[in-house]
Amino acid sequence: MRLIDQGKDYVLSLYRIVVCLLFVSHGAGTLFGVLGGKRQALAFGSWPGWWAAVIQLVAGGLVLIGLFTRVAALLCSGSMAFAYFTVHLPKSFFPLENGGEASVQFCWAYLLVVFLGPGVWSIGRLLRRFAEVRRNFGGYPRRAMRPSQDRVAQE
């Protein structure tokens, strides 16, 4: 059980990265017609498809690298809930019948990231650690000097 607890944050990071790669790929496919997506890209600014694809690409990319993770994940989760309720639900209530499985799964996956955070592998965590080091050492670390140079620097 201890091993599982020790790996929790690393598995959470891997989970976030895999989910985001799928999400970003979906957005890139919709916007640019690549990666097996739509054969033709959507018209610029068309509602709601183009905007959803921008959210998938940009906010999904932020969550992927772990920058502004919780806010971006909340945006991704909300966009998938919107997609389910406006596009899929009018066809049928059940996701297997209305084709909304991916929307439901992405919605709940991103909501999980909102509450659990990005895990250990994230740019946000790296930036916080860098800021902490700067705060603790009063700026950038000084270059090591030989004792003779240190006396000259103090004068």
The predicted model scores a pTM of 0.81
Cis peptide before 48 (omega within 30 of 0): yes
**Domain span including residue 117:** 2-154
Cα separation, 67 vs 44, whole angstroms: 26
Residue-wise pLDDT tens digits, 21-69: 999 999 998 888 887 766 667 778 788 889 999 999 999 999 999 999 9
Give the number of domains in the chain: 1
